[in-house]
A and B are shown apart, each in its own frame.
Chain A
Amino acid sequence: AQSVTQLDSHVSVSEGTPVLLRCNYSSSYSPSLFWYVQHPNKGLQLLLKYTSAATLVKGINGFEAEFKKSETSFHLTKPSAHMSDAAEYFCVVSDQNQGGKLIFGQGTELSVKP
């Protein structure tokens, strides 16, 4: 079965410092992986997705993630945090055997201090 584990429930950084949100996945075949962001009282927005092309995936707002098969990881990074990045971030795997059903991690809340 497909699953994802987000290793931190909460991450706090200072504005202008790097962001690292960690995600490990479990999949019996080559997965499709996503990062979504959810701002308070807003819908989920796709940041980026990996679908077996380049292992380094660039997304919106300066975020990127690297697919590492050997480590079964798909960590999200950003070189310099901005106050507007404060939100809940979800690592997601798509189950291709179930019509692309999305399986979400528990989420990581990112706080950005001025």
Chain B
Amino acid sequence: EAGVVQSPRYKIIEKKQPVAFWCNPISGHNTLYWYRQNLGQGPELLIRYENEEAVDDSQLPKDRFSAERLKGVDSTLKIQPAELGDSAVYLCASSLAPPNTQYFGPGTRLTVL
């Protein structure tokens, strides 16, 4: 069974540029999560989807971050404009309905110059 797929794996951009990350969850998993992992720290939840509905986006910086999960499958996380402090690894995870085990993708490492 295929795991959580994320792309790109690495992204380097100049500050103030836009960037987007894509995630394809495990087939049949209706819950999808985006986490941000800063260097030397554990991941922190940005947003959680149940199907196509964002049910917890309290930690998402809404002034520059946006996310969508059209049709309740794939998801895209966008940053516009990017800032230096956004450099991090962005992880996507999926699960059956909580509190089932979350399975993580390999992440996208973003570097903002």
Contacts and interface: CB of A to CB of B under 8 A. Distances in A.
Nearest to B58: A98
A78 interface: no
Interface-central residue, A36, A92, A96, A104, by most chain B CB under 10 Å = A104
B79 to A, nearest CB: 21
19 contacts: A41-B106, A42-B106, A43-B4, A43-B91, A43-B106, A44-B43, A44-B93, A45-B104, A49-B101, A51-B99, A90-B43, A98-B56, A99-B98, A100-B98, A100-B102, A104-B41, A104-B42, A104-B43, A107-B42
Contacts of B25: none
Contacts of B56: 98-99, 101
Contacts of B98: 99-100
Nearest to B101: A46
A91 to B, nearest CB: 9
Given A45-B104, A107-B42, 14 more contacts: A43-B105, A43-B106, A98-B56, A99-B50, A99-B56, A99-B99, A100-B95, A101-B45, A102-B33, A102-B45, A102-B102, A104-B42, A104-B43, A105-B42
A32 interface: yes
B41 A107 contact: yes
Contacts of A24: none
7 closest A-B pairs by beta carbon, nearest first, are: A104-B42, A100-B98, A100-B99, A44-B104, A43-B106, A43-B104, A99-B98
B1 to A, nearest CB: 15
Contact of A44 (B50, B55, B91, B99): B91
Nearest to B98: A100
Interface of B: 3-4, 33, 40-45, 48, 50, 55-56, 91, 93, 95, 98-107
A76 B9 CA distance: 30
A2 interface: no
Contact of B3 (A43, A49, A104): A43
A44 to B, nearest CB: 4
A98 B45 CA distance: 11
A31 to B, nearest CB: 11
A99 B102 CA distance: 12
